Chains A and B, each alone.
Chain A
């Protein structure tokens, strides 16, 4: 019965005007939450614009030392940076709205093209990292809750803190040192070896997601090569999040183990292991879904560092390259796009959380 009503809720909330006042309505929630995306993106994009412009125009920053004053002035007026800053701001907002994030100064390519090319690499890295985080974090969190205040719990809690206390670039360096240099079992850096990359490039329309491209080549060697390259970066970035998941699952499972319905199950003679595995586990996962939204921000920040460590040519790697080149148009573009991604992910995560747990709705 209940499942039927919840499923029919969205069309009813959207379609009919008359509905009980107490019923928040998932449709209304989605709408409000969707509208909230725009101020978020607007604020972040504006903030980045104004902050970056306080340092002066991007052309002087990028080419200041290399060009004479006249040439510089010419480039500045050609790019429109000599106009009133407010005009530039309005124009910039309009461009963002149409998906135009500017043109890089150092390589003279549209930022949106760079985002498309390298964004997929970051997506792949983030996906694998989340996979590592889930596989490591959730079971270990349950183990820690099961042996609460015993030695496995103490060990796992310190492990979780270590995961979080180790900067991704340091764990990355250590992994590199141990697995790539000393043991020599995994590649040092990059997304694939040159041979595999060449094989993937001849594909008709390559997706940019190496895993998929590698499968499409039909050569198991290529796939193995791509996966081998992904292991260390995914571990470095994934463990960071795994610590957060472990801690969260532990706390929530312990919390649910103290509730009445678990007590009731316990009094019926359900074993403690089954209580953790079946009864306390699912409600404990709800907060994780909410936290994933925040983890996306963490993962993207971590991806910048991980990609730099492993020369994984994604958005973060490009960001640090552009930072070195002092190409602030490109930096601004990438940061603005990441703002959009963060806002959208949070929207999706909030919707999923609301679908699972009706209490979240407005």
Chain B
């Protein structure tokens, strides 16, 4: 804490301290009223989720694939109560333990998927937007094609490729993560490319070039640093989508085997037949876990998006004073337009700079 402000005070006095420039902290200070409530609620849920994932081995009463303890087998479809507060599944697993362990799988998949897609997407977007030309054209057409396609179907195809449709142990988790990665790359690509094309025309890039900076240096030092302001937002959007895609894959039977790890979508798939006979606890709890986590992350993402858009920030009076302001929000329609189908509203953000490119070339 103490090191951060001193480091910044050396570089320049009027700059805000590093602490307040951290992505979420800054927005939290900026927010007010309802928006602040939503942001805080989202942050709390997300924190609880992350902590649950980390401490799942401590919190869960049993292992995720445990079928019996010292007293014998758990028994299938036991109603909640006694030693199983949330009951047991049709295969005889403890529902509470499966739900808690599931957080770990979800977090792991989110991290792998988002990190991989950020690296690939940011790199491709940067190179494509900076150099332009035929490579850029092809990349844009390909990413548009992939982007328009139902992401779940793409993830299914990918998981067939990676694991042949069967997953086991850690490989299954990676297969799911990589399947989701492929779906996300076009989204990062589009955003970063659009930003790169815009920044490329800025005066400071021009002057860096005049000073003789190499393309690599300009790309990573001048363009990349300025193009990443939207990343935290897309990160939150994709994290929630990653959970939904993982659950969807699991629900269709492409998930992770119950002996390898616990996965909410898979559990819901197994609970499908339970519902008809009125057994509610096997589906309700894994489902609620998915809803809560996605809700938490989306609340954070949506608040960040609104705070980035002056027209939606703050109260009515402020918004009216702002009038028609240049669209700074990453997702013009709001994050929900960017729901499971992808970042819907990004369409607009991308067309503008690409028009500029047409004129320039």
Contacts and interface: CB of A to CB of B under 8 A. Distances in A.
B150 A342 contact: yes
A327 to B, nearest CB: 11
A324 B334 contact: no
B253 A167 contact: no
A174 B284 CA distance: 8
The size bracket of the interface on B is: 35 or more
Contacts of A247: 333-337
B105 interface: no
Contacts of B148: 40, 293-294, 297, 342-343, 346
B316 A148 contact: yes
A340 B258 CA distance: 36
Nearest to B144: A40
B252 A244 contact: no
Interface string B249-266: 001111000000000010
A290 interface: yes
A40 B337 contact: no
Q: Name which of A54, A160, A165 has the most chain B CB atoms within 10 A of its CB.
A: A165
Interface residues of A, number: 76
B interface, over-half SS: helix
A108 interface: no
B161 A51 contact: yes
A339 interface: yes
Interface stretch (B76-84, B116-124, B228-236, B274-282): B274-282
A308 B284 CA distance: 18
Contacts of A165: 240, 290-291, 294-295, 298
A63 interface: no
B333 A287 contact: yes
A335 interface: yes
B319 interface: yes
B33 A149 contact: yes
Interface string A166-210: 110110011011001110000010000000000000000000000
A251 B312 contact: yes
A305 B253 contact: no
Nearest to B240: A165
Interface in A242-258: 243-244, 246-248, 250-252, 254-255, 258
Nearest to A290: B347
Contacts of A323: 156, 160, 165, 252-254
B87 interface: no
A182 B340 CA distance: 30
Interface of A: 36, 39-40, 43-44, 47-48, 51-52, 54-55, 61, 148-149, 153-154, 157-158, 160-162, 164-167, 169-170, 173-174, 176-177, 180-182, 188, 240, 243-244, 246-248, 250-252, 254-255, 258-259, 287, 290-291, 293-295, 297-298, 300-302, 304-305, 308-309, 319-320, 323-324, 326, 328, 331, 335, 338-339, 342-343, 346
Given A157-B38, A250-B334, A298-B341, 9 more contacts: A43-B146, A158-B38, A174-B287, A251-B337, A301-B341, A309-B272, A319-B156, A323-B254, A343-B148
